Copies of this chain bind each other. A is one copy, B any other.
Amino acid sequence: MPTAIPEDSVGIVEPQIARFDTPLELACGRTLDSYELIYETYGTLNAERSNAVLICHALSGTHHAAGYHSMDDRKPGWWDAYIGPGKCIDTHKFFVVCLNNLGGCNGSTGPTSINPETGTTYGPDFPVMTVPDWVESQRRLSDYLQIDVWAAIIGGSLGGMQALQWSIHHPERMRNTAVIAAAPRLTAQNIAFNEVARQAIMSDPEFHNGRYAEHNTLPRQGLRLARMVGHITYLSEDSMGSKFGRDLRTDKINYGYDVEFQVESYLRYQGDMFSGSFDANTYLLMTKALDYYDPSAEFNGKLSDAVARARSHFLVISFSTDWRFSPARSEEIVNALTEAGKNVCYACIESPHGHDAFLIPNERYEAIFSAFMNRVADQTAGGVS
């Protein structure tokens, strides 16, 4: 909890809700007749409406990217290190929008929302979402906010996939794209980890085929395991090693099946926290959106053809110890953009923090990100791309 709001914070923020009553056709063939998106904004939209930046969130992210909801908040939004006055995404210059994706569990319509057709929560009846579905729902939010052209669309991890998809799908509605710690599509190993997480949830007897709410219960153990295995893939082997090593929780080995090493205690804690706050059906949905994403699929696997339509300037950033989406995966994006003749700036940032590095303060990352955003701001001030 901040005793005072830090000077470089956007301060106390309040989420807003946008309601949409035009049916949204989804990749799965189903339609959402109406839905709500919860979002936050930081900074001020200029008179030309040209300084808006859209932030897309990752698997367990939310609309709450920066600032505090109240003075009682223990922590600021999930990307507070990078959004605020004077920060990389400088709220003195930009009007920043971050939403909770459709299918989420933080306020946008999702599995925990009431299905108007049945009067009970959607649960497993909520449709499977894809990255292109999200981009379309975000395009409608842009219309709702009367933002014709985004100065930049930015995302890390699954959020980076959304930013990339925006650049392909609505090239005329954005000037810049930042794709951070992402991949153009999952590998078999990525899918395999997601499948373990899903099986952990779905095999929990409290899952009840996703109708746990109707049974007045939660598949906590499954969600806890899913998060534990996910968490290992977010950290690097080195960062886990330097943080925990083989440190014991007590002063000696106890030779039993309770927690012995600090790293076990940490993982259990992470799993417990997450399973008490996140919806299991949303977790399944988010991992599926990751699995399905592959913009090259319509182009015989040729990513450079998929990105040919893009018109924005690109920033691609990877992190040296990220093994979930390794630098080589970002370089696939860079190579495809280069082959397609796009303007792309790429950096692989040295960091010990694995995939999570995209959330963590880092001098070189900040310098490169800021330089890119300063150019975005200069374009905005000039009024042209």
Q: Does A203 contact B (CB under 8 A)?
A: yes
Q: Is the CB of B29 within 8 A of A243?
A: no
> Known contacts A193-B232, A263-B188, A263-B191: does B288 contact A257 (CB below 8 Å)?
yes
- The answer to whether B195 and A246 touch across the interface, beta carbons within 8 angstroms, is no
Task: Evaluate contact between B237 and A202: CB separation under 8 angstroms.
Answer: no
* Chain copies in complex: 2
Please name the residue on chain B nearest to A284 by beta carbon. Answer: B257
Contact A203 B188 (CB under 8 A): no
**A side interface size, CB within 8 A:** 54
Partner pick for A267 among B192, B202, B228, B235, CB 8 A cutoff: B192
Interface 0/1 of A238-260, CB less than 8 Å to B: 00110111100000010111001
Chain B min CB distance to A170 (Å): 23
Q: Compute how far the CA of A124 lies from the CA of B257 in the bound complex, rounded to whole angstroms.
A: 10
- CB pair A264 B195 closer than 8 Å: yes
Contact code string A27-38 (vs B, CB < 8 Å = 1, else 0): 111000000000
Q: Establish whether residues B257 and A202, one from each chain, have CB atoms under 8 Å apart when the complex forms.
A: yes
Contacts of A257 in B (CB 8 A): 124, 128, 198, 202, 284, 288
* Residues on B with beta carbons closer than 8 Å to the beta carbon of A221: 203
Q: Which residue of B lies closest to A259 (CB)?
A: B195
A256 to B281 alpha-carbon distance, docked (Å) = 12
Interface string of A4-17 (1 = CB under 8 A from B): 00000000000000
Interchain CA distance A130-B186 in the complex, whole Å:
38
| Partner among B29, B188, B229, B246 whose Cβ is within 8 Å of the Cβ of A245 | B188
Please, how many angstroms separate the alpha-carbon atoms of A304 and B187 in the complex?
A: 39
Say whether A18 faces chain B, with CB atoms less than 8 Å apart.
Answer: no
Q: Measured between C-beta atoms, what is the minimum distance from A204 to chain B in Å? A: 8
When each residue 188-207 of chain A gets 1 if its CB lies under 8 Å from chain B and 0 otherwise, what string results? 11011101101110110100
Out of B192, B237, B253, B261, name the residue touching A264 (CB < 8 Å): B192
Whether A192 and B240, one on each chain, are in contact in the complex, defined by CB atoms closer than 8 angstroms, is yes
Instruction: State in angstroms the CA–CA spacing of A185 and B247 once bound together.
Output: 13
Q: Which residues of B contact A193 (CB under 8 A)?
A: 232
A237 close to B198 (CB less than 8 A): no
Chain A, range 36-84, C-beta contacts under 8 Å to B: none
One of B198, B225, B241, B323 near A188 (C-beta < 8 A):
B241
A224 within 8 A of B: yes
B-binding residues in A (CB < 8 A): 27-29, 124, 127-128, 130, 185-189, 191-193, 195-196, 198-200, 202-203, 205, 221, 224-225, 228-229, 232, 235, 237, 240-241, 243-246, 253, 255-257, 260-261, 263-264, 267-268, 271, 284, 288, 291-292, 294, 323
A-B contact list, 14 entries, CB within 8 Å: A128-B257, A185-B246, A187-B237, A188-B237, A189-B232, A189-B235, A189-B237, A192-B232, A196-B228, A196-B232, A203-B221, A203-B224, A229-B229, A260-B291
- 3 smallest CB-CB distances across A and B, nearest first, come from A28-B255, A188-B240, A203-B221
